[in-house]
Structure 1
Amino acid sequence: MITSELAEKSILGTMLQENYLIMDSGMEEWYFQKQLHKNIFMSMCELARKDKPVDYITLVVVREPAELGGANYLAELNNYANAARFDEYKELVIEQWRALEKGHILQQALQNDWTIEQIQNAFDALQLNHSTAPQTSIQADLLAQYERPFIPLEKLTGISTGLHSMDYLLNGFQPSEFIIIAARPSMGKTDTLNHFALTAGIQGHLPIIFSLEMSRTSITDRLIASAGWYSRLKMRDPHKHFTEEQKKKWPNALDYVARSNIHIDDRSGLKVSEIKATARKIIKETPDKRPIIFIDYLQIIRPEHPADNQTQAIGQISADLKTLAKEFNCPVVVLSQLSRAVEQRQDKRPIMSDLRDSGNIEQDADVVCFLYREDYYTSTPADELDMYIAKHRNGPIGNFTVGYYKDTGTLTNNN
């Protein structure tokens, strides 16, 4: 089990690598138990407030090196950095501080003969100290709504999906919503995700894809194929199989994908905490864009803690993804597999109970969308993809059909 001192070292080491965490993490100097670490944190804050870079060299300029443990100690803090576990270690340090403060409160209460009410008030103030107290008043929210009836409504309040029927039902992908796109294998889940990411990026948003199964090269090839309407089979050897016209349009397809500003993390076996750490860094580096997170796919995310079974593990991951959406105030769109029960029915269209491994997915998700292709089960090519919004916490449900061209992975609106 990690000690409070090691957790403090990890927090400071991570801050040295990710300077934005110094002011954005909510840490305060008094949370640190070790005076040396308090000195280092205060020096970091001093540099950060002046918009200066923070590293072990700039720190020794702020105060005497001996007060910071020396240059070697500061340099060694980098070895403890762990961005993925930053929040976990931060909570550990804060809880340790609270535990010590409770002891001080009880000692004061004993010495000064406090009443039970005084002790409880002191505990409440400790639990909701000024740095972590939530904003609960709705007065500012009401004030912001004052002109609402007199201002024309924007076409979409969320991030457009690029599919008219879907936008009509969802009003776009909404902030803080956890959206599940579920289907059996080979139905077009990844192509659908790529379509959403390209659409969001071209609109000026910040799409971040976590591809736990496919490599970044494979996803990039799919994005190019979709954007340029290129056959993925021909893209294996464009020089040999492309027509001259297709070769001429190649730079335009690359430019289109480049303008979408998509970020792809293709590490396998990620935990939600690691997804969160990477997304936070990308979002911080691009503060002027509205983020949207895509994950392919839910069942191969690693749980934070060992679980007794897969159902329990998926339930934990599902809850963590919903928390992630709320914390970043952005849509989190996650692909999900369906159970084999679909294949055992005469009607192969998915239903809510087909969500694989956990009813928690249904409970946590704000939107559940199923994908289905009739031509997958028949020999009749259709170039169509049926989409069914089976759950919509804040609006209507419904089904619609879009164009889907498997050869290129392109989705289109059906007129």
Structure 2
Amino acid sequence: MKKEFLEKSILGTMLEENYLILDSNLTPEMFYGQHHRMLFTMMRELALEDHPVDFMTLSARFEQVTQIGLPYVTELIHFSNPEKFDAYVQLQREVWCEKQKGQILFQANEGDWPIPQIIHALDQTQLEGDFHDTTILQTLAHMENRPFEETITPGIVIPHIQDLALLIDGFRPGEVTILAARPSMGKTDMMNNLALYAGWNGHLPIIFSLEMSTRSLLDRCIATAGNYSRLKLRNPKQYFTSEQAKNWSIVLNRVHQSNVQIDDRSHLAIAQIRAQARRIIRQNPNLKPIIFIDYLQIIQSENDQDFSAIATSKISRSLKQMAKELNCPIICLSQLNRNVESRGNKRPMMSDLRDSGSIEQDADIIVFLYRDSYYNTDVREDLDLLELIVAKNRNGPTGTAYAFYNRMTGHVLSRGSS
């Protein structure tokens, strides 16, 4: 990609998504074209003052915009590409670093620099525009009264299932939870329940449904929220009671109050998920996000040539990076391989995860779903006992939590709930 088009895409995306101006950690010196350096300097100045950055504010504030040309600035938006922004910024930094390295080595040769000076100069190039505070004093100061105050973790999502909350405490920002089970065990319903209850408790649930359409997913949410049988929901006019029909608008409003956001595009890569999540989070600054993905094995690989295990490894690692970058919990559904079906005890274990090595390593929490009634038809009831087997918990105990699962409505309830 030519440097000019690379920089146009970066600047165009920044004009569309202003928060990226400062989040990118780029500096004006990293832009090759002089007019691009000038434009980025002006954009950053407005962003630092918390002003909107667009054609109008730039032209009103800076006379230099006329040197660049107003049509040129307005056309940059056509090069916007939020989904590839992070990759383009990384490429921009690499191009700049290579240029700086060449200049440093030339100066070192001309000035006969000692080896330590050369190493120091090259290290500074790598750190330019990417400052990260590594001191711990301020963090320790915030902990001073910790033994005497209630522990509050901003953004933590406490599951509505009490047994599970006792085991994992909550879904924490920066952590990835894998929710895995065999098909038809209740993964998607479990995800919907966690999303609805998180939303009703003031969070921002963002669901990436790569397998199911928004309409189908909403039908399931409506059935759960309204305690409707999904069979009746196929034709409400024919099967609903008058009371159920009367409460319909109330239930729809209840689902709306959950603030659930759904992206049902089927071919999404991690970069697209990250870009969309970042946009939704910025549009809802007063709500703490939690991201759900259904499901891991159908997330699009960035490289179609990768073998399945390699693709899963890259995706798994990227999920963890995204959770830390966005500072929110991520709950990702996952399939299990068929090994479980050949055992007498069909409760899942780590080795049953498809391409399990990288998932085991990257996930903070791994929860398997198991219902004995799925395999034992003699105990099959509408209200099933659901086992939530916490097989990995990086910061807490493992064990099994129990809940009741209503197969007709998709509702997952704590034991003792009505």
- Length-normalised TM-score, structure 2: 0.94
Alignment gaps of 5+ in structure 2: none
CA distance in 1, matches of 2:95, 2:293: 34
Amino acid aligned to 2:333: L
Shift, 1:104, TM fit? 1.8
Conservation of the 8 A alpha-carbon contact between 1:298 and 1:336: yes
Amino acid aligned to 1:119: I
Q: Which residue of 1 aligns with 2:175?
A: 177
Change (3 A) 1:59 1:218: same
Q: Which residue of 2 aligns with 1:150?
A: 148
1:67 paired with 2:87, answer: no
Shift, 1:50, TM fit? 5.0
Shift, 1:339, TM fit? 0.3
Q: Which residue of 1 aligns with 2:398?
A: 397
Change (3 A) 1:251 1:75: same
Conservation of the 8 A alpha-carbon contact between 1:7 and 1:89: yes
The Cα offsets for residues 249-285 of structure 1, whole Å up to 9 and x where unpaired, read as 2222122211111111111110001000001111111
CA distance in 2, matches of 1:364, 1:65: 47
CA distance in 2, matches of 1:50, 1:139: 28
CA distance in 1, matches of 2:166, 2:264: 32
Change (3 A) 1:199 1:411: same
CA distance in 2, matches of 1:235, 1:154: 40
Shift, 1:217, TM fit? 1.0
Moved more, 57-66 or 350-359: 57-66
The Cα offsets for residues 298-318 of structure 1, whole Å up to 9 and x where unpaired, read as 000011223431111111100
1:108 paired with 2:107, answer: yes
Q: Which residue of 2 aligns with 1:224?
A: 222
Percent sequence identity is: 49
Alignment gaps of 5+ in structure 1: none
Shift, 1:46, TM fit? 3.8
Change (3 A) 1:407 1:22: same
The count of corresponding residues between Structure 1 and Structure 2 is 412
Query: Aligned Cα RMSD in Å?
Result: 1.8
Instruction: Give secondary structure in 1 for the equivalent of 2:164.
Output: helix
Matches within 5 A, 1:202-351: 202-351=200-349
Conservation of the 8 A alpha-carbon contact between 2:164 and 2:402: no
Change (3 A) 1:156 1:14: closer
Q: Which residue of 2 aligns with 1:381?
A: 380
Amino acid aligned to 2:96: W
Shift, 1:52, TM fit? 4.3
Q: Which residue of 2 aligns with 1:15?
A: 14
Moved more, 239-248 or 173-182: 239-248
Q: Which residue of 1 aligns with 2:118?
A: 119
Shift, 1:356, TM fit? 0.8
CA distance in 2, matches of 1:261, 1:236: 24
CA distance in 2, matches of 1:373, 1:155: 32
Instruction: Give secondary structure in 1 for the equivalent of 2:150.
Output: coil
CA distance in 2, matches of 1:267, 1:153: 38
Shift, 1:384, TM fit? 1.9
Conservation of the 8 A alpha-carbon contact between 1:384 and 1:403: yes
Q: Which residue of 2 aligns with 1:406?
A: 407
Q: Which residue of 2 aligns with 1:135?
A: 133
Amino acid aligned to 1:106: L
Instruction: Give secondary structure in 1 for the equivalent of 2:230.
Output: coil
Shift, 1:28, TM fit? 1.7
CA distance in 1, matches of 2:78, 2:302: 22
Instruction: Give secondary structure in 2 for the equivalent of 1:48.
Output: helix
Conservation of the 8 A alpha-carbon contact between 2:155 and 2:289: no
CA distance in 1, matches of 2:201, 2:322: 23
CA distance in 1, matches of 2:24, 2:304: 27
Moved more, 73-82 or 43-52: 43-52
Instruction: Give secondary structure in 2 for the equivalent of 1:120.
Output: helix
Amino acid aligned to 1:88: A
